[in-house]
Structure 1
């Protein structure tokens, strides 16, 4: 079972490194990538400066493992990768990175969409919105 968590934001170098590693896999014809980014939403009179993510990591990793198995059974993928930030992620930084690869684009694109929606619906990852004035509230997923 893989650990999906990365401390802090997911850096552009991590994304580039993941893409570069797949250049040697010449049976792959398509990649699809989803990047979730923290927004500076206005909530009432406050602006979100960051989100602090927390989770019971063993439980989340088990849920993600089950989602991965479901995706591999449903879609013909060469590989898939899921990374989620844990800890503080500032507005503008990446908090979720989903990367799928397959022979054809439709399969990769459909699998990515299914993965992201499944993660949002099933993985118990919690976000506390930290506002510019340092007040905070628990985020409601949409």
Structure 2
């Protein structure tokens, strides 16, 4: 993983931030492949209501520690050059990016498998919680799928 200390960004993760991260890795000339996962807030529908946003909260210290463990395992298991993880805190509207995971490796096969391992572990183990805000202004805690 990079020297990143916190995975958290306030609000949505912007396309400009994602582009900046990609640009910074162009100097790593021993890397042959990059792979990116972008998690986006869906406008799910239920009982005639639509999700307009998700408000994310977390046990930040615990989540940062767990994210670093997940990244280190993916790097070690698949020979990745780096793995960066960014997750939103606060409100993220439907259509906006809430999770950005960026993996790099000397070869493409390793980067695909390593990124998938990390994303699945993050969804299952990261102590981050989302409250869905519905079109009628009600809210419910989200269950990860």
Fold match (TM-score > 0.5): yes
Q: Runs in 1 of length 4+ with deviation above 2 angstroms?
A: none
Unpaired stretches in structure 1, ≥5 consecutive residues:
none
Name the Cα RMSD after superposition. Answer: 0.9
Q: Which residue of 2 aligns with 1:74?
A: 77
Q: Which residue of 2 aligns with 1:2?
A: 5
Q: Which residue of 1 aligns with 2:120?
A: 117
Whether contact under 8 Å (2:71, 2:84) holds in the other structure is: no
Deviation at 1:45, TM superposition (A): 1.6
Deviation at 1:120, TM superposition (A): 0.5
TM-score calculated relative to the size of structure 2: 0.95
Deviation at 1:70, TM superposition (A): 1.2
Residue 18 of structure 1, aligned match among 21, 34, 38: 21
Unpaired stretches in structure 2, ≥5 consecutive residues:
none
Deviation at 1:76, TM superposition (A): 0.7
Q: Which residue of 2 aligns with 1:139?
A: 142
Please, which moves more after superposition, 99-108 or 64-73? 64-73
Residue 93 of structure 2, aligned match among 90, 94, 111: 90
Within-5 A mapping of 1:34-45: 34-45=37-48
TM-score calculated relative to the size of structure 1: 0.97
